[in-house]
Amino acid sequence: MVLIVNYGMGNLGSLVNMLKKIGVPAEISSDIKDIESAEKLILPGVGSFDNGMKKLQNLQLIEILNKKRIRDKTPILGICLGMQLFTKTSEEGNLAGLGWFDAKTVKFRVNKDSSFKIPHMGWDTVNIRKPHYLFQDMDINAMYYFVHSFHVICNHEEDILTTSHYGYDFVSSISKDNITGVQFHPEKSHKFGMKVLENFCNN
């Protein structure tokens, strides 16, 4: 059973719709017991870093998420803000992140008069840096929908799963052991996003 963690940040409707479309039974919950019994977890997220961490703290989910990660080695997929929360800190806020990756989240550095407007919003490609089931059989023309003003910087090269380019190369997905994170929104990326979710759920 795939569980979508509902911590009040993010557009769960689209995620549920796409999972339904690909025939994966999924539940949405913020209940510790439900998270405890999930086989896989998805941490979605749209919004600001501090808001995200505060909500996780208020719902007392950090402990159970850590248990699932370390004790059960449950596959966990972070999406957009969800992925950023895996890092240690973010320039967007003051609170500490989950710290699951030795990485930080920073604002896009673009010149004020550059043609690169913030947020990075739209369809873009990813460059795969290491083999991983998430991008198995990725279509050569695959594009994914991004909408973000901050991006992750990894301190360890081996955590980088894909990079993308917007003014400069930046990390667009990360993975380590049973944890993966994607900066883009698979639930909004048509058949390409569907493939990513399928790969995650069926692995």
111 binds other proteins (CB under 8 A): no
Please report whether residue 198 would count as binding other proteins according to CB under 8 A: no
Q: Which stretch binds other proteins (CB under 8 A): 41-49, 65-73, 131-139, 169-177?
A: 41-49
- 3-state DSSP of the chain: CEEEECCCCCCHHHHHHHHHHCCCCEEEECCHHHHHHCCEEEECCCCCHHHHHHHHHHCCCHHHHHHHHHCCCCCEEEECHHHHHCCCEECCCCCCCCCCCCEEEEECCCCCCCCCCCCEEEEECCEECCCCHHHCCCCCCCCEEEEECEEEEECCHHHEEEEEECCCEEEEEEEECCEEEECCEHHHCHHHHHHHHHHHHHC
Does position 17 bind other proteins by CB under 8 A? yes
Work out how close the CB of 196 gets to other proteins at its nearest, in angstroms, rounded to a whole number. Answer: 12
Q: Indicate which residue of 92, 148, 187, 198 is catalytic.
A: 187
Is 191 among the residues that bind other proteins (CB under 8 A)? yes
Q: Does 21 bind other proteins (CB under 8 A)?
A: yes
- Interacting residue ranges for other proteins, rule: CB under 8 A: 11-14, 16-18, 21, 46-48, 112, 117-125, 141, 143, 145-149, 165-166, 185, 187-191, 193-194
